[in-house]
Amino acid sequence: MTDRGYTLDFTLRDRKTGALYVAEMKCEIEYQSFRYFILTNAEQLKHHKKPAFEVFLRSARPSEDLQVWVGKQKTPTAGAILIWGAVSPSGRMSAIEEFGLRDALSLDEMCRDLVSWKCQRYEALLSERRAWSIQLFDGLLSSDVSEAPAVIYPRLDAATSRQARSRYPGDA
C-alpha cells in the first residue's frame, strides 16, 4: 500500500515574490475552556498530534523528502504559514521561532483589516449574515409559530463554496 500523503488546508502565494506556502488554519475558540483561543506561545501547538499537522510543521522547513502537490501537480513551496483565531505578538514570534514558520496570521486581524479597508464584499457578507441572524432570533422569540418569518438558507455547492472563498483576498 502506498502512502497517499495528507490533505492540508490550503496554500498562500506571496504576491511580491511568487513564493508558495503551505497553510493550516486552527481556530480553537471553545476548545478546553478557551485555552487555545489566543495563540500566546508555541507550546499551544504541541497538543496537535495528528499526522497531517506534523507534516504541516515539517513543511515549514522544506526538504527533499517532503513533496507538496496542488491539484495533480508537484509544487515547490517556501515554507508554512499558520492561521489562528487570534494571535498575540509574543505568540506569533514564539511559533515562528520554534517551528520555522513564515508567519502566524490572525483571523481577528484579517477581519479588522477588511473593515478598515471598507471591503464592500466583506461588508455585504456580514450584512447578509446579520439579516439571517435577526430572522432566526425573531423566529425563536415568536410566541406564535405562524408569525415566525420563513428563513431560506442558500445551499452551498462546490462552485458557490469556491466563489465564497475567493471573495476577499485581493478584493478591489
Q: Which of 78, 108, 138 is a domain's end point?
A: 108
Q: Output the pLDDT for position 169.
A: 44
Q: How confident is the model at residue 15 (pLDDT cuts 50, 70, 90)?
A: very high
| CB neighbourhood size of 111 (10 A) | 13
31 & 50 share domain? yes
93 & 16 share domain? yes
Q: What is the pLDDT of residues 23-38, one digit of tens each?
A: 999 876 665 555 557 8
41 located within any domain: yes
Q: What is the pLDDT of residues 74-94, one digit of tens each?
A: 999 999 999 998 999 999 999
Distance CA 102, CA 68 (A): 16
Domain count, the chain: 2
User: What would the 3-class secondary structure string for 76-95 be?
Assistant: CCCEEEEEECEECHHHHHHH
Question: For residue 25, what is the DSSP state?
Answer: E
1 located within any domain: no
155 & 99 share domain? no
39 located within any domain: yes
14 & 65 share domain? yes
23 & 74 share domain? yes
78 & 130 share domain? no
Which domain does 131 fall in, by range?
Answer: 117-165
